[in-house]
Amino acid sequence: MNIDNYVKGWLVGDFEPALFNSKDIEVSIKYYKAGDKESSHVHKIATEYTVVVSGKVAMNDKVYNTKDIIKVKPGEYTDFESLENSITLVIKTPSVLGDKYLCQK
């Protein structure tokens, strides 16, 4: 097995392929290069936790460093930018397909 066999690093959740399936939680390990960005989005049901395993990232105009943990509650918009090469661990609970809504700007 290799993490490259999973979509965007998503390993656990109610989707395929998955290391194992769960409706309770989603887990991903994501590798970013400096300058990589993700669009602003919101989850209506899930709470999302981002752990900065290494590197420096910006979310919602705040800078986070290695070992920082960011909690995004349902209904809170968030964006993402990797300010240097970074690795994140992302945990969402529960696992709900389609619970990602991009910001309409």
Question: Tens digits of per-residue pLDDT, 26-56?
Answer: 999 999 999 999 999 999 999 999 999 999 9
- The half-sphere exposure of 59 on its side-chain side, counting CA atoms within 13 A, is 21
Task: Supply the pTM of this predicted model.
Answer: 0.93
Give the other-Cβ count within 10 Å of 2's Cβ: 5
- At 79, the pLDDT band (50, 70, 90 cuts) reads very high
Note the CATH number of domain 25-94. Answer: 2.60.120.10
**Per-residue pLDDT, 24:** 98
Q: Where are the chain's structural domains?
A: 25-94
The length of the chain, given as a count of residues:
105
CA distance 29 to 65: 16
Q: Exposed/middle/buried for 58, CB within 10 Å: 0-12, 13-18, 19+?
A: middle
